[in-house]
Amino acid sequence: MNRSKNLISLGLILFLLGLLTGLAIPAMSSPRLGLSGHLEAVMNGMFLILVGLFWDKLTLSKKSSKLTFVALIFGTYTNWITVTLAAVWGAGGKMMPIAGGKLQGSMVQEGLIKFGLISLSLAMIYSTIMMIIGLKKQTSSSKIV
């Protein structure tokens, strides 16, 4: 399995989903959150493409590499779907007060949005730390003594 190519492919798919989300903004209950969903997908798609370009330079164990890959995909796609669902539902104002304002969905909708935002944040923090560690290991092991 070539994770580098997978990250680039998944990044392009997420980028496309962002473009399609942009077309749907006028039909959403919250166009402002719809714009946020569009931007999340476009930016996270580009981020996955970028990570795919340097993925092979990371020095991580097999297990850490797999967990980091899964966390990246989970975090980026969950970011898009959570914000887009909030836009469609007209919910999420408590967790996203700037984009969501005073929007309030059902208890289930708000719970899903809260879970999505918290879990994606943890996944992205974890994967970013692991990539920093993987690059640092690669840099220190390539030093000429």
Domain spans of the chain? 3-141
H/E run at residue 41: helix 31-54
Residue 105 DSSP one-character state: -
Q: With a threshold of 0.75, does the pTM exceed it? A: yes
Q: For residue 120, give every residue at least 6 positions away whose Cβ sits within 8 Å of its Cβ, in sequence order, or none.
A: 74, 75, 76, 78, 79, 82
Query: Where is average pLDDT lowest: 6-20, 55-69, 92-106, 115-129?
Result: 92-106
